[in-house]
């Protein structure tokens, strides 16, 4: 099993060493699994449980003071599932897998996704705040009132790039997964690229990809699908990542990063100050 994981593309983190150690743990945890789908789920769960990453515990806070999580997962036979806008769900990636395996749908959102998670044994009602995020929210002077009032307040505050993701392959099949707590001070209910097929994640017989960065722009450019298409055209994983990011930059002028895996190896590319990754093979 070959696994590559990322911890988000954005500014240089305050404490890169412990983040890198957790990414290493996530990659090794994934590589120990028996299938690529198990590998990406278990790898991402490690990152969702660590407050240093913007996924699960420690996710970004939306304009109404709620942390909502999103995730998507896909396998190389193009089976896919995603879940979005879930308050109190730490392991969004597991809910995405439930959607893929247990429903006829590809995306379930909001309180109904939380109810679905509970029915299939995914823990709900989790306090996703950390001490750091609670303090940041308390200092934000957020408004009450209508969405219009929230929009007036958040226009100069909305931002952030962090997401987590994993791609795995066993030599024959692949899986990709991406999970996030969103972007800070987004309008309540905002959903970005992460649970959108082809944007935050994509997988095909040629390989898989997981993206991170400015979600609205990633969605407009369908960054993950773009990278996998380059695999399908014969590029290796690193060349596919490089070309997809070059195209993304030309199209949007925005910030992102991507990890890519094919049958021969892994690649990554980003145009931000940094994107930490880790890979493992077993």
Strand partners, 269: 258
- pTM for the full model? 0.94
In tens, the pLDDT along 166-210 reads 999 999 999 999 999 988 788 888 999 999 999 999 999 999 999
Is residue 163 part of the annotated active site? The answer reads yes
Mean pLDDT (whole number) for 5-20: 84
Q: What is the 3-state secondary structure (H, E, C) of the chain?
A: CEEEEEEEEECCCCCHHHHHHHHHHHHHHHHCCCCHHHHHHHHHHHHHCCCCCCCCCCCCECCCCCEEEEEEEEECCCCEEEEEEEECCCCHHHHHHHHHHHCCCCEEEHHHHHHHHHHCCCCCCCCCCCHHHHHHHHCCCCCCCCHHHHHHHHCCCCECCCCEEEEEECCCCEEEEEEECCCECCCCCCCCCCCCECCCEEEECCEEEEEEECHHHHHHHCHHHHHHHHHHCCCCHHHHHHHHHHHHHHHHCCCEEEEEECCCCEEEEECCCEEEEEEEEC
pLDDT at residue 151 greater than cutoff 70: yes
Q: What is the pLDDT of residues 215-270, one digit of tens each?
A: 999 999 999 999 999 999 999 999 999 999 999 999 999 999 999 999 999 999 99
Choose the catalytic residue: 22, 80, 124, 163: 163
pLDDT the model gives residue 159: 65
In the numeric block, which tokens belong to residue 194? 């992460």
- Averaged over 19-43, what is the pLDDT? 97
Q: What are the beta bridge partners of residue 159?
A: 184
pLDDT of 16: 86
Q: How far apart are CA 254 and CA 10, in angstroms?
A: 11
* CB neighbourhood size of 253 (10 A): 10
Q: Reply yes or no on whether the pLDDT at 271 is more than 80.
A: yes
Quickly state the pLDDT bin for 109 (edges 50, 70, 90): very high
Instruction: Give me the count of residues in the chain.
Output: 282
Mean pLDDT of 12-34: 92
Tell me what the pLDDT averaged over the chain comes to: 93
pLDDT attached to residue 75: 98
């Amino acid at each position: 099993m070959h696994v590559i994981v990322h911890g988000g593309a954005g500014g240089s983190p305050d404490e890169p060493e412990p983040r890198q150690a957790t990414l290493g743990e996530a990659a090794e945890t994934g590589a120990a699994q028996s299938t690529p789908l198990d590998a990406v789920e278990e790898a991402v769960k490690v990152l969702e449980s660590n407050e240093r990453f913007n996924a699960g515990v420690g996710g970004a806070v939306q304009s109404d003071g709620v942390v909502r999580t999103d995730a998507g997962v896909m396998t190389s036979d193009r089976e896919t599932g995603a879940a979005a806008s879930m308050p109190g769900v730490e392991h969004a990636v597991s809910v995405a897998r439930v959607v893929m395996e247990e429903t006829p749908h590809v995306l379930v959102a909001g309180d109904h996704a939380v109810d679905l998670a509970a029915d299939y044994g995914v823990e709900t009602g989790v306090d996703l705040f950390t001490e750091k995020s609670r303090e940041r929210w308390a200092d934000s002077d957020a408004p009450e009132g209508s969405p219009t009032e929230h929009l007036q307040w958040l226009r100069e505050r909305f931002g952030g790039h962090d997401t987590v993701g994993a791609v795995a392959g066993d030599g024959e099949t692949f899986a990709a997964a991406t999970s996030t707590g969103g972007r800070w001070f987004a309008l309540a209910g905002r959903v970005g690229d992460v649970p959108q097929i082809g944007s935050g994640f994509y997988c095909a017989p040629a390989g898989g990809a997981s993206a991170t960065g400015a979600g609205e722009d990633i969605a407009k450019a369908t960054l993950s699908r773009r990278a996998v298409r380059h695999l399908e055209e014969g590029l290796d994983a690193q060349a596919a990542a490089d070309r997809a990011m070059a195209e993304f930059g030309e199209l949007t002028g925005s910030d992102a990063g991507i990890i890519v895996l094919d049958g021969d190896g892994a690649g990554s590319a980003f145009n931000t100050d940094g994107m930490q990754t880790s890979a493992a093979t077993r």
